[in-house]
Structure 1
Amino acid sequence: MIVDRNSLHSAGLFALLWLAGLYMRLPILVAPALAPAIGDELALSQTHIGALTTLPVLMLALGALAGSLLIMRMGPRNALAAALAVVGVMSATRGLAQGPVLLLGASAVMGLAIAVMQPSLPALLPRWLTPTRIALGSACYMNGMLMGEFIGAGLTLPVIMPLTGDSWRLTLLVWSLPALLIALLLMLPKTASNGGDDSTQWLPSLRDPLMWKLGLLLAGTASLFFGTNAYMASVLEDRGELTRLDTTLFSFNFAQVAASTVMLWMARHWVGRRGPILCSAGLSVAAMLGFILVEGWPGVAFAVAMSFFAGILLILIVSLPPQLVPSAEAGRLSAGTFTIGYTVAFLVPLGGGLLADTTGAALAAVGFITLCTALTVPLALRLKLPN
């Protein structure tokens, strides 16, 4: 049997992209599962426990511009490998904490490193892949990212904790060490220049209309997903349906994994086209309205459908920078997109929560989030893309 070396090489590149994507979310989503054990041992307040998850997410917005600078200085491959190594070290360092200072400090630095990874991956794709495979590369690492959410949240307690003798410290170590190995493996491919970019511009231009369109579209889909996750329990409790929470959250989060799997097959047909972006944005808002208006299991089905379409939209938006600008500019555009997207996605659910506190109705929060997202849908029509 003759083995095609080019095929093996391509498979190795896609595997590395998937593994790197895995660690953009897995270290963050391990924290909620371990939070009760960490809180009991370290006597943490509810604020500290909540910050274990929310602090790294906030860092995703604050650290994206640093990613753009590092890409210019080091090149996307080197920036990605360095950031991934920091993620592994800081994630493991959380297990050494004797109080909230080291625990939250390591979590914050870990979040900043993940923020550097986010623009590094789209900037790396044109270096490693041919133009016809860039869309598939985007879908590949996004599939890894969304699988990281599911694996971190779903396997930590039933699988890893029993293997470590129910030690949350060893569990963090087990999840963290593979990141260091992946960082080393990223240094192996020699398909193209992996050094710094020729461009001396790293700060995204505030006058770039494309960056604002992509950033606000990203903000819409991220607000829907994170906001609905945050307020799902309160909405179901108000409806007297709290017994459905476990099934709903499992299905809701798994829908994004399903969306990323579909995109592995459809990326080359959908990425870089306006129609799929407009359809997924419109359908996610329509499905969210269904969840708001319909109770019971049909309402849950609408929420799961929203998560699926939001996952499709997320991948379509994140995949665009390496498709639309030269490789030297892809990291810069991605950094600006992530900064806008995650900053707004942090503020919109927060505004929804304030509205819910004022009205006393949890549904007001998701209604506010849906309205804000609906306002971003027309931006898809203004993207200069083929239909």
Structure 2
Amino acid sequence: MTAHHAKATHPVLVGLGIMLIAFNMRPALTTIGPLLNDIRAETGLTAAGAAVLTTLPVFCLGLACALGPWVIRRFGPDWGVLLAVVVVALGSVLRGLGGLAGTGALATLFLGACLAAAGIGLSGVLLPGLVKRDFPRHAGPMTGLYTMILCLGAATGAGIVVPMAHGLGGGWPLALSLWALPCLVAALVWAPLAMRGSGLHRSTTGRPPWRDRVAWQVTGFMGLQSSLAYIVFGWLPAVLQARGLSAVDAGFVTSIMSLGQAPSALLVPTLASRARDQRPFVVGLVVLCAAVFAGLALGPRGLVPVLAILLGVSLGGLFGLGLTIIVLRARNAEAAAGLSILSQGVGYTFASLGPLGFGLAHDASGGWEWPTALFVAIASGSLLCGLGAGRDRQVGIAPRRAERG
């Protein structure tokens, strides 16, 4: 952070802007799932189409991460974040525009979902750098805070989108489109900060470490644990409704699950960053995630609220752990940037296959046993990658002789 920027912008305003941006980084992903049955009933969308609807946004999110270096060089991170949140707002409007007009509902729904996800991916690459730049002495707590706010945004979207759809009279199109409003609020708050920082914060980014084994282990862990999260975001409400819960109750349980992410997203990075070896965190969180999801899909209905909270705890912890491992495995800021581009860009792109495979498995079997087995298999892959990524090694540095043996 330059001295000029420190004088021009109060840290509280910067922090508020970052938190508002973070709040808008998940609702576009978590508001589709609770309304999926309504969308299918009104548009005739098949189960396979629903699988694609939950997959394409995650794929676009991964592709947008690759734009991060170009955006930083061309516009700077401040203007890049503003661009990202405006893109999320535009995508949110498009998601419901076809339904409101009565024509082209599916086309604009898919296009808007992909556009919103692209904005989310871009902001996800840029925000960590802004936190480190503007809060160099408090980067850890600030990262935990914005991750927690991100989880609260996910919970809010999942919890209130169904009441919005049923209570406002506009159905799912209006409920999806209205999520552009908090994006616009964030853009209005951030715009003055971007203008004050204009031209001051061009920065270089490290090259993705394509040939480094540790980097690919980090990428595998980041992508596979993200795949678990996006399966849950896209399909948990449908799983719960198939088990007899109403759309409102399924959305509420999904919201509880998302709320459960917030404390672990704040706590796990703090604890993991103090340990030399993150593998115990990997094992505990991955096993918990797989077990409680299987319980939600196939276990007693009476345990659903408790299992939903535990699922949120595991997913929030895994997300925070993934971001922490990126930082810990990099030897400096430039290496961290390159590793972040690789792990999030490639990781999120492959993560998109999880929701698609889950939906296709359900379409083929007509039940939830096969999809649950796929979920457990993805969790197992995440565990294997995490055991490599969690070791006390750094990208580009050969392991010590004791570890080679």
Query: Taking structure 1 as the reference length, what is the TM-score of the superposition?
Result: 0.78
Does residue 161 of structure 2 align to residue 156 of structure 1?
yes
Residue range with higher mean Cα deviation, 368-377 or 201-210: 201-210
- Does the CA-based 8 Å contact 1:274-1:383 persist in structure 2? no
Structure 1: which 5+ runs fail to align? none
1:90 to partner: Cα distance: 2.3
1:178-257 to 2 correspondences below 5 Å = 178-189=182-193, 195-199=200-204, 204-227=208-231, 242-243=243-244, 250-251=252-253, 254-257=256-259
- 1:78-115 deviation per Cα after TM superposition (whole angstroms, max 9, x unaligned): 11111111111221133332213333223222222221
CA distance in 1, matches of 2:15, 2:360: 43
The structure-2 alpha-carbon separation of the partners of 1:181 and 1:322, relative to structure 1 and needing over 3 Å to count, comes to: farther
1:265 to partner: Cα distance: 5.8
Q: Aligned partner of 1:116: which letter?
A: L
Q: Aligned partner of 2:376: which letter?
A: G
Does residue 167 of structure 2 align to residue 166 of structure 1?
no
The structure-2 alpha-carbon separation of the partners of 1:127 and 1:231, relative to structure 1 and needing over 3 Å to count, comes to: closer
Partner of 1:314: 319
1:223 to partner: Cα distance: 3.2
Give 1:374's match in structure 2, choosing from 383, 386, 398. Answer: 383
Give 2:131's match in structure 1, choosing from 125, 131, 139. Answer: 125
- Does the CA-based 8 Å contact 1:29-1:153 persist in structure 2? yes
- Does the CA-based 8 Å contact 2:218-2:343 persist in structure 1? yes
The structure-2 alpha-carbon separation of the partners of 1:299 and 1:278, relative to structure 1 and needing over 3 Å to count, comes to: farther
When the two structures are aligned, how many residues end up with a matched partner? 373
1:266 to partner: Cα distance: 6.7
Q: Aligned partner of 2:129: which letter?
A: A
Aligned residues with identical type, % of pairs = 24
1:327 to partner: Cα distance: 4.6
The structure-2 alpha-carbon separation of the partners of 1:232 and 1:117, relative to structure 1 and needing over 3 Å to count, comes to: closer
1:9 to partner: Cα distance: 3.7
Q: Aligned partner of 1:254: which letter?
A: I
Partner of 1:115: 121
1:254 to partner: Cα distance: 2.9
Q: Secondary structure at the match of 1:376?
A: helix
- Does the CA-based 8 Å contact 1:23-1:145 persist in structure 2? yes
Give 1:102's match in structure 2, choosing from 86, 108, 122. Answer: 108
The structure-2 alpha-carbon separation of the partners of 1:161 and 1:211, relative to structure 1 and needing over 3 Å to count, comes to: farther
Q: Secondary structure at the match of 1:343?
A: helix
Partner of 2:63: 62
Residue range with higher mean Cα deviation, 219-228 or 151-160: 219-228
CA distance in 1, matches of 2:357, 2:170: 38
- 1:241-274 deviation per Cα after TM superposition (whole angstroms, max 9, x unaligned): 934798788556634433423444675x425344
Partner of 1:364: 373
- Does the CA-based 8 Å contact 1:92-1:177 persist in structure 2? no
RMSD: 3.9
- Does the CA-based 8 Å contact 1:52-1:104 persist in structure 2? yes
Give 2:147's match in structure 1, choosing from 130, 142, 145. Answer: 142
CA distance in 2, matches of 1:302, 1:36: 23
Structure 2: which 5+ runs fail to align? 1-5, 395-405
The structure-2 alpha-carbon separation of the partners of 1:225 and 1:126, relative to structure 1 and needing over 3 Å to count, comes to: closer
Q: Aligned partner of 2:273: which letter?
A: G
Residue range with higher mean Cα deviation, 74-83 or 320-329: 320-329
Partner of 2:403: none
